Amino acid sequence: MIISTENKEKAYELFDKIGIKKLAQFKKTAVIKVNIARPPEKNQPRTSPELITLIVEYLSKLNVKCAIAEGANGYLSENLYKIGLGNLIREHKVELVDLDFEEAEKVEIEDEEHYIPRCLNNYDIRIAIPSASKRPNMVFSNNIKLFVGAVPRRFYQIGEPVEWRPKVHIDLHKSIRNIYTCITKCCPFDFYINGGLAMDEEKGEFQIPEIIVGDDALELDLYIIEKYFGIDKPEYITKLL
């Protein structure tokens, strides 16, 4: 299911319609997985602060305690404050969870081993808010690829530690697909919220004019690719189909 609006004042109506309010009636906590491993730079957008603010304030009105989660190598708090979310975090007592330092469950899939943070199962509601991009020489990134940033990077090193996850890049599309599959089995996400600043290698940065919400990462990625990027489906999405 996908629903959207270009009127930001109707965001709460979208959240109601997709089922967040109904679920929140029986739940106390929510985790929001974002794409803010590093602060945004030119042609490298991150999750929209506006979308994070909308969902945190919405859930707080429903008496749901929020956490923001990302594998940020120790810089999650600093990154969130840099994009102007300090007041939101303080006012709503938002928990910050740097997934790079969390305990993880090893999951074997095909001939790979992946490590899924156990803490994600501690929350009643799981919501993902990525940023859509297709940068030069990079794979399309949005809902499904967002979860590469959920696995603790210490388990994906080769030789001397680096700030990225070299093991994921041995067979990138296979690993993206398998990490997403492991997440859906171990701690499936309930809702996805898309919108904000995006990046296309042909036209550069642009604003997605809609707030788009859905309950299926694959369906929503296909929608974004077709409507806003006009590119061939990446291999990891073709294999998931």
Q: Are strands 29-34 and 133-134 parallel, antiparallel or unpaired?
A: unpaired
Domain count, the chain: 1
Q: Write the CB contacts of 25 (distance below 8 Å, at least 6 apart in sequence).
A: 62
**What one-character-per-residue DSSP string does the chain give?**
-EEEES-GGGHHHHHHHHTHHHHHTT--EEEEEE--SS--BTTB--S-HHHHHHHHHHHHHTT-EEEEEE--TT-HHHHHHHTT-HHHHHHTT-EEEEGGGS-EEEEEETTEEEEEEGGGGG-SEEEEE---EE-TTS--BSTTGGGGGGS-GGGG--SS--SS-GGGGTTHHHHHHHHHHHHHHHS---EEEEEEEEEETTTEEEEEEEEEEES-HHHHHHHHIIIII--PPPHHHHHH-
**Percent share of the chain, pLDDT over 70:** 100
Dihedral sign for Cα 165, 223, 69, 52, please.
positive
CATH number at residue 34: 3.40.50
Rounded to 5 degrees, φ, ψ at 105 are -95, 130
What domain range includes position 55?
2-240
What is the C-alpha to C-alpha distance for residues 51 and 195, in angstroms, rounded to an integer? Answer: 8
Q: What is the mean pLDDT of residues 117-146?
A: 96
Q: What is the mean pLDDT of residues 21-33?
A: 95
What is the C-alpha to C-alpha distance for residues 145 and 101, in angstroms, rounded to an integer? Answer: 20
What would the pLDDT profile of 186-213 be if each residue is shown by its tens digit?
999 999 999 999 999 988 999 999 999 9
pLDDT of residue 137: 86
Q: What is the pTM of this model?
A: 0.96
Is the predicted pLDDT of residue 102 greater than 90, yes or no?
yes
Is the predicted pLDDT of residue 180 greater than 90, yes or no?
yes
pLDDT of residue 161: 86
Q: At residue 174, what is the residue type? A: K
Q: At residue 155, what is the residue type? A: F
Place of tokens 């859930």: 59
pLDDT of residue 111: 93
